[in-house]
Amino acid sequence: MSALEVGGVANLRDVGGIVAGSSRVRSGMLLRSGHLAHLTADGREVLAQRVRHVVDLRDDAEVEREPSALAGVPVTRIPLFLGSVGSFFALNMDLAAMYRHLIDESAPRLVDAVRVIAAGEPTLVHCTVGKDRTGVTVALALSAVGADRDAVIADYALTASLLPRERNRAVVQYLRAHLPDATNAVQLATESPAPVMAALLNEIDERYGSAAAYLRDAGMSDDELHALANALLE
């Protein structure tokens, strides 16, 4: 996996190179990032050359507030949260509870997102920050094809170090001013602790047997899972 510098987009990386048994994840097949609203002209050109499909996991309000600046690339919109992003802050959920909510309540939508990846075109998955919805989706796709667990967790954890400091500073100031009693708000907005993703993947294994079995239980066929492996692995 490697972080990519593209003008106007934060937290962008290619997950290629992660070991999966005797194979590796193909470079250039699965990218992940934050939103694309501030792409520069050069950034648009770079992504248009590298990406053939975009999966946008944001809800309508987020898209209206920060519409993508990438044109000419097909976009599949799959809002993952059943409810607003703000509701998780209002309920003072921690990350573990948010991710559990995702896998429990949005399983068919997660399958829809992974199906786009399985189609075999170079795909960029993003939400607003590229941390939670993107993190869970990418971790599921990688885990379903047997990617090394530690590497999947490390990819998720990398996000916190790639978020712009000025963005985090502004977010933390806002949260402390407007949600002083939301003790988990800063974690929700800025952190990606490895133990949280490790616990989520372990829970999926315990409940379903594997990430592939979770996706299968939510409607993904064996043929689609094979297509996912063919798309992602070299």
β-pairing, 13-14 vs 23-24, is: unpaired
Q: Are 210 and 204 in contact (CB under 8 A)?
A: yes
d(CA 149, CA 201): 9
Q: In what order do the strands lie in the sheet with 75-77?
A: 2-3, 13-14, 30-33, 123-126, 53-56, 75-77
Comparing CA positions, the residue from 7, 61, 11, 9 lying closest to residue 36 is 9
d(CA 153, CA 198): 6
Amino acid at residue number 50: R
β-pairing, 53-56 vs 19-20, is: unpaired
- Does the active-site annotation cover 127? yes
CA distance readout (Å), 59 to 37, 64, 82, 226, 228: 14, 9, 9, 30, 25
Of the listed 110, 127, 158, 163, which one is catalytic?
Answer: 127
Q: Find how far residue 54's CA is from the centre of its chain.
A: 12
CA distance readout (Å), 56 to 4, 42, 61, 213: 19, 21, 13, 24
Q: Which residues are catalytic?
A: 127
